[in-house]
Amino acid sequence: QVELVESGGGLVQAGGSLRVSCAASGVTFLKNDMAWFRQAPGKDREFVVGLTWNGVNTDYADSVKGRFTISRDNAKNTVYLQMNCLKPEDTAVYYCATGAVVWPRGPYKYWGQGTQVTVSS
């Protein structure tokens, strides 16, 4: 079955950087679009960024444009989210997703379990 495993979350000060990863298995990774979403406490899950299967097209939420960068390594079946200039409002559980019904903002068929990112002020 499809499994997505996120890692790399943690605690960082405002203005700092963090990279989270998502390793995929059970899916033909290089044929699948990928995306990152996040959910802050008490809020709905929101779209962060999407990346096409070939790594050519991206779509970023306005709130992260210029600060976050998505990338993928098809040889490692892994997608990354590099987060720079982090703000306290970026604090959330970050989820990766694949199997887009509609790219880039979903819905998606498969989800990881999430990784916590906390940005202190």
Taking only the tens place, the pLDDT of each residue in 98-110 is: 999 999 999 999 9
CA-based angle 44:104:28, to the nearest 5?
A: 110
Task: Note the pLDDT tens digit of each residue in 47-81.
Answer: 999 999 888 999 999 999 999 999 999 899 999 99
- Strands 115-120 and 10-13 come out as parallel
Residue 30 zone, left/alpha/beta (φ > 0; ψ -120 to 50; rest): alpha
For tokens 């779209």, the residue is: 47
Q: pLDDT grade, residue 45 (50/70/90)?
A: very high
Contact between 14 and 87 (Cβ < 8 Å) = yes
Euclidean distance between CA atoms 53 and 55, whole angstroms: 6
